[in-house]
Copies of this chain bind each other. A is one copy, B any other.
Amino acid sequence: MPDPRFFTVAGPFTLQKLATIAGAEIGPGTDPDTVFTDVAPLDAAGPTDVSFLDNKKYVEAFRASRAGACLVHPDVVSRAPQGMALLVTRKPYTAYALVAQAFYPLPAPRSGVAAGAIVDPTAEIGEGTEVAAGAVVGAGARIGARCRIASNAVVGERVEIGDDTTIGACASLSHCLIGSRVNIYPGVRIGTDGFGFAMDPTGFVRVPQLGRVIIEDDVEVGSNSTIDRGAGPDTVIGRGSMIDNLVQIGHNVTMGPGCVIVAQSGISGSTRLDHHVVLAAQAGIAGHLKIGAGARIAGQSGVMRDVPAGTEVGGSPAVPMKQWFRQVTTLGNLTRGKRSRLKEE
């Protein structure tokens, strides 16, 4: 059970209600009015908990589980233990996410400006929005309804934020427009100058960065990540994209909807990602490239060329995934060969 210091469980919910939330069908022979009180993993769940099976690897745990109810794919219904209520869906993990959100909803913002927050009188704050202690909201900023501006966050001058958006503790925003239902994690930096300057023997000369950062709706930006504003065009993070912690996004980068950028990756200036591109952890993409829709970049790889839509690349410099595997295998074989020869000598 989650630590009640940090998590407050909602509910209880009837099986019928959970089926509606999950978009699932109730399995045969179960009373839809049975009541459930919490979510739990298969091995820890008890008779009033809802669990889920998403990976066939865990079928044995499913068969042994004491969970009162379980979200499952139609294929495994026949393997359920006796007496377990089933919520049947083709997407058990999505369904679990929705059920868990119902049991553990985000607490509502505490509407109003807390003591110790500093809000410029010209800023507009929407209804139901919380500005926590120590937060600073600059002149002319416009924040929508039901937002949460956490402690010691800084919303810069004339920044605009949609509805139901969270700005985490100690994050800072400038020169940006932020959508609705966006989650900016603690310590994120958005809208700072891009890394643009003219090299000159007498010293570097800063080129004014005259663009913005546009964060579309439903985006998440992980802790301590940095997104620079455009040099003239804007830097754009597409709707629903998920950015993990400690990620760097350079100036003028644009990203279509649904991209996933895992921790410590970096995207250099002016590179364009189409929709649903995935970068695994610690990957890097050079500047001025085009990455096609649905492309997948392996962890730690270094992309130096355009990547066509739907392809996977790995290695540094990155090559198509199969070629990278061959490189790794070939190098392994060569060194094993060498070792054999050394032993024969």
Contacts and interface: CB of A to CB of B under 8 A. Distances in A.
A207 interface: yes
**DSSP majority for the A interface?**
loop
Given A158-B6, A207-B97, A284-B299, A152 B140 contact: no
Given A7-B210, A204-B240, 14 more contacts: A6-B212, A100-B210, A134-B154, A154-B169, A154-B170, A169-B174, A170-B171, A185-B189, A186-B192, A189-B245, A192-B245, A195-B244, A282-B284, A284-B299
This chain's copy number in the assembly: 3
A170 to B, nearest CB: 5
Given A168-B172, A246-B248, A186 B185 contact: no
A256 interface: no
Interface of A: 2-3, 5-7, 39-41, 91, 93-94, 96-98, 100-101, 103-104, 115-116, 118, 132-134, 136, 138, 140, 150-154, 156-158, 160, 168-172, 174-175, 185-187, 189, 192-193, 195, 197-200, 203-208, 210-212, 218, 220, 222-224, 226, 228, 232, 240, 242, 244-246, 248, 250, 258, 260, 262-264, 266, 268, 281-282, 284, 286, 299-300, 302, 316-317, 319, 323, 326-328, 330-332, 334-335, 338-339
B323 A335 contact: yes
Top 10 A-B pairs, shortest CB-CB distance: A169-B172, A189-B223, A2-B210, A326-B335, A94-B198, A116-B118, A97-B205, A136-B151, A226-B245, A118-B133
